[in-house]
A and B are shown apart, each in its own frame.
Chain A
Amino acid sequence: MRDLYQRLSLPPKASPRQIRRAVDTCPNRALQQDADAVLTVAEHRDSYDALHATVSDISRLRARLGLSHGAHWQGSVANDFACPPDDAVGQNAALMGRVSQAATHYNRWQRLRGPWLITAAIITAACMGFAGGLALCLRLGAL
Chain B
Amino acid sequence: MPIARFSPFELVLLQSHSQVDAATLLLQAWVLTHRNGITAGQRYRRLAQEATELVPSDHLQTLMQIAAEHDIQAVQLAAEVLRHESPHEQGMAVMHRTISVATDDGQLSLANHYILRFIADLLGLTPATLETLFEEIAGAPLTAPQDPSRDAYWREHNPAHYRRRAEREAEAERAREEAEQADARRDAERREREQASQQKKQARRDRARAKQERRQRQQEEKDQRRRRDAYERQAHDRRQREEQYRRHQSDYRDRQHQGTGGHRAQASTSPDRTLRALAVLGLSRGASRTEIRRAYRRMAQMHHPDRFVAESESRAAQASMRFQRIKKAHDYLMKTL
Contacts and interface: CB of A to CB of B under 8 A. Distances in A.
A58 B3 contact: no
A10 interface: no
Nearest to A57: B72
B151 A62 contact: no
Interface stretch (B115-123, B216-224, B255-263): B115-123
A53 interface: yes
A50 B154 contact: no
A91 B19 CA distance: 14
Contacts of B145: 1
Nearest to B77: A91
B70 A2 contact: no
A101 B158 CA distance: 55
Nearest to A39: B149
Interface in A14-67: 33-34, 36-38, 41, 43-44, 47-48, 50-51, 53-55, 57-58, 60-62, 64-65, 67
Main DSSP-derived SS at the A contact region = helix
B158 A62 contact: no
Contacts of A91: 73, 76-77, 80
A77 B118 CA distance: 12
Contacts of A64: 76
Contacts of A53: 70
Contacts of B150: 2, 34, 37-38
B78 to A, nearest CB: 9
Contacts, number: 112
B279 to A, nearest CB: 90
A77 B114 contact: yes
Given A37-B151, A50-B111, A95 B77 contact: yes
B110 interface: yes
A47 B34 CA distance: 12
Given A53-B70, A98-B4, A65 B149 contact: no
Interface in B107-139: 110-111, 114-115, 117-118, 120-122, 126-127, 130
Interface residues of B, number: 41
Main DSSP-derived SS at the B contact region = helix
A76 B161 CA distance: 27
A14 B117 CA distance: 29
A91 B118 CA distance: 18
Given A1-B148, A60-B72, A71-B127, A101 B83 contact: no
B76 A51 contact: no
Which of A37, A51, A55, A77 gathers most chain B CB within 10 Å?
A37
B121 A41 contact: no
A92 interface: yes
Nearest to B130: A72
Interface stretch (B6-14, B47-55, B270-278, B284-292): B6-14
Interface of A: 1-4, 33-34, 36-38, 41, 43-44, 47-48, 50-51, 53-55, 57-58, 60-62, 64-65, 67, 70-73, 76-77, 88, 90-92, 95, 98-99, 101-102, 105
Interface of B: 1, 3-4, 6, 10, 13-14, 34, 70, 72-73, 75-77, 79-81, 83-84, 110-111, 114-115, 117-118, 120-122, 126-127, 130, 145, 147-151, 154-155, 158, 161
